Structure 1
Amino acid sequence: MRTALILAALALPLPLAAQDTPDVSLTRIDCGQATEPMPLGGFDDTGASDGMTRDLVVSCYLIRHGDDLMVWDTGIDPATSGDPDGGFSMGETLVQKLAQLGVAPADVDYVGISHYHYDHVGQARDFPQATLVIGRADWAVIEAGSPWVNRDLFVPWLDGGAEVRQVGGDLDLFGDGTVKLLAMPGHTGGHHALLVRLADMGPVMLTGDLAHYTSNYEHDRVPTFNDDRADSLASLDRFKRMAEAYGATVVIQHEPDDIAKLPAFPEAAH
């Protein structure tokens, strides 16, 4: 009996610190800026933000996990840069930015998408060989066709030329706890945030569009265009509890003030 217990204990996964994990880094990449201060009424269904405006940014990220590379969110489509309907403009493309880091599109193993909205998927097709990692409910919307989605951005995966990894809940991408997609539905049905555990900086949590700017995050305000209000509030609560439990640095991806929480491009957090 004692031998069986010992063998069972040996089979348990080791704590993260005891594992021989690869080096992990996180680089923030500029993928767009608001062409002018955005009206905030639609970002808050309580009416508290009516008549207010503010600048927003579009952020992409490169995560290095040993020899594996993952891009998290891909910004706006360069073809829409400066379009008043989209509200964002950009200078260099994501591919051009990655080239400055010595990364070619073919080097990217995974493209992780927080959700299917245009300002998060605009350059996904520039990585046609990568595995697309996306919420299952969001992929269903893309496959079905929706006025929210430009299907041309997903041709490599819709045509079966590259793998799609559909995520129903949380996903520990590399199996060692360092890069984890967190199911945070509400903004869309398959919306995910991202947890990256760094050796020096510690845990960093990227929000996706759980909140678009600090005051909405702090006050649990829900955009009028979210899929589900109750799910949105539940996800905000879970995210905040996790951030507190982990002692994580929270980075709101559209918040200009949060850019400085990570090293300035081309430097990476470790």
Structure 2
Amino acid sequence: MHRLALAAGAALMLMGQAAPSDPEMRLWRLDCGTLEVSDFGPFSDTRDYDGQPRDIVDSCYLVKHGADYLLWDTGLPASLIGKPATEWVFTYRMTTTLRDQLRTIGVKPDQIRYVGISHYHDDHTGQARDFPGATLLIGAQDWEAIRTVRPQSERDRFQPWIGGGAKVEPVDKDRDVFGDGSVTILAMPGHTPGHRALLVKLPRMGNVLLSGDQFHAQESYDKGLVPAFNFDRTDTLASHDRFKGIVRSLKATVIIQHEAADVKKLPAFPKSAE
């Protein structure tokens, strides 16, 4: 019995030594610009915002998973720094770049393993081509639209991948990015045909759900509002239900990426959530 106990103890010790440790998980919020909206009306097709001006933030995120990094959305283009631009109801402003912010925390562009894009709109894709060494993760339907029907200005932002010099992995449904359930790209079509959200599981903060443009403001979330410019209203409402269901089930912290109060749920850069 004594020998058996020793053998069992040795086996447990070996198993403990061989067991892999959980990868370090961290989440940074990044400044990707601001949008001054002269009339927020188009953000509700039931006329909730008609004539109301509003300022919203444009946020991006960096996820650390062990030695790997995922950059989620790439914001407005760096060319706007010091040169605000007005288009339709929007005035776009930028004060810093993603590369400069990453440099602050010691992360080089070639360390970014993945660039994940919630959807193809300009304020989420502006600096994508600054990371040509990364594998692009994007909704399959959005990728098809970029390659075939979207404007040339949008195609230019994805030139490293369209040209074949960089790897792209279109995401057809959900995608477990690292294979351990810690970071999941979620199918949330409607805003665009291939719109996605991102679920990040942190060891201390718990589940964090980044919205993409599933919602643009807290009222949009509370009332289930649909922007007039969304691709498909029915899909949007179905994705609303799925998003809120995941929040309930996982008790997730919601980050509406254009809502300043939500972005502030995460530590101010350069600190990270863990």
Taking structure 1 as the reference length, what is the TM-score of the superposition?
0.90
CA 1:167–1:33 in structure 2 vs 1: closer, same or farther (change >3 Å)?
Answer: same
Match of 1:181 among 182, 185, 200: 185
Q: Which residue type is aligned with residue 29 of structure 1?
A: L
Q: CA deviation at 1:51?
A: 1.5
Deviation at 1:83, TM superposition (A): 0.6
Does residue 137 of structure 1 match 2:138? no
Q: 1:198 aligns with which of 185, 196, 202?
A: 202
The CA deviation at 1:151 is: 1.1
8 Å CA contact retained: 1:132, 1:163: yes
Equivalent residue number for residue 250 of structure 2: 246
Deviation at 1:20, TM superposition (A): 4.2
Instruction: Give the AA of the match of 2:127.
Output: Q
Question: Structure 2 stretches of 5 or more lacking a match?
Answer: 1-18
Alignment of 1:114-125 (within 5 A): 114-125=118-129
Pair 1:149–1:235, CA change in 2 (3 A): farther
* Candidates 88, 95, 101, aligned match of 1:91: 95
Match of 2:13?
none
1:212 maps to which of 202, 210, 216:
216
Give the match for residue 39 of structure 2: 39
Aligned counterpart for 1:233 among listed residues 219, 237, 240: 237
Match of 1:162 among 159, 166, 190: 166
Q: Equivalents in 2 of 1:229, 1:145: separation in Å?
A: 20
Aligned equivalent of 2:22: 21
Structure 1 residue 147: deviation in Å? 2.9
Asked if the contact 1:138–1:191 (Cα under 8 Å) also holds between the matched residues in 2, the reply is yes
Q: Which moved more, 1:255-264 or 1:80-89?
A: 80-89
Structure 1 letter corresponding to 2:61 = Y
Q: Deviation digits for residues 88-111 of structure 1, max 9, x if unmatched?
A: 211111111111010111111100
Q: Identity of counterpart residues, as a percentage?
A: 51
1:265 matched to 2:252: no
Give the partner amino acid of 1:24: M
**Structure-2 separation of matches of 1:181 and 1:150:** 22
CA contact (8 A) 1:33 1:56 kept: yes
CA RMSD of aligned residues (A): 1.4
Residues 255, 150 of structure 1: alpha-carbon distance in 2 compared, 3 angstrom cutoff: same
SS in 2 for 1:269: coil
After the TM superposition, list the runs of 4 or more consecutive aligned residues in structure 1 that deviate by more than 6 angstroms. none
Count of aligned residue pairs for this structure pair: 252
Q: Which protein has the larger Cα radius of gyration, Structure 1 or Structure 2?
A: 2
CA distance in 1, matches of 2:56, 2:20: 39
The answer on whether the counterparts of 1:21 and 1:176 sit within 8 Å (CA) in structure 2 is no
Q: Deviations over 1:98-147 (max 9, x none)?
A: 11010111111100000000000000000001000000000001111413
| 2-structure distance, mates of 1:259, 1:246 | 19
| TM-score (normalizing by structure 2) | 0.89
Other-structure match for 2:31: 30
> Which letter does structure 1 place at the counterpart of 2:123?
D
How far off is 1:161 after superposition? Answer: 0.7
